[in-house]
Amino acid sequence: MGVPRSKALPLPVGRALTRLGADIRDARRRRRIPTATMAERAGISRTTLHKVERGDPGVSLGIYATVLFVLGLEERLAELADPRNDAVGLDLEAEALPKRIRGRRPRTPTTGS
């Protein structure tokens, strides 16, 4: 018997999924979309929609993306790992740049003896 998926998640990841689910639920409510209509538009069951709105980690990323599409929020998916927003990656890249760039030495012609 393996470890349940929800137990294997790092705590910050679980919290982020819970928040995402709550944000999706709030977005659906603000748009006055009933759960049955939302599930139908996303091509999922109401049970799966409830799992999404709870931030269930067992639901596929594709379903989360489809639900965001139905809400008109899919463009934000592309921003999740955008290299321009990756502060840590940009810092690491900057550290790897050479501190000093030296010009090439002119080659001296070799003379035969």
In the chain, the percentage of residues whose pLDDT exceeds 90 is 58
Question: Helix, strand or coil for residue 61?
Answer: helix
Q: What is the CATH number of the domain that holds 30?
A: 1.10.260.40
Alpha-carbon Rg for the chain in angstroms: 25
Domain-embedded: residue 109:
no
CA distance 109 to 78: 55
Domain-embedded: residue 34:
yes
- pLDDT exceeds 90 at position 65: yes
Tokens 């659906």 locate to: 28
Q: How buried is 66 (Cβ within 10 angstroms: 0-12 exposed, 13-18 middle, 19+ buried)?
A: middle
Instruction: Kindly report, residue by residue over 91-104, the tens digit of the pLDDT.
Output: 888 787 777 777 87
Domain count, the chain: 1
pTM, two decimals, is: 0.72
The residue range of the domain holding 57 is 5-96
CB 24 within 8 A of CB 52: yes
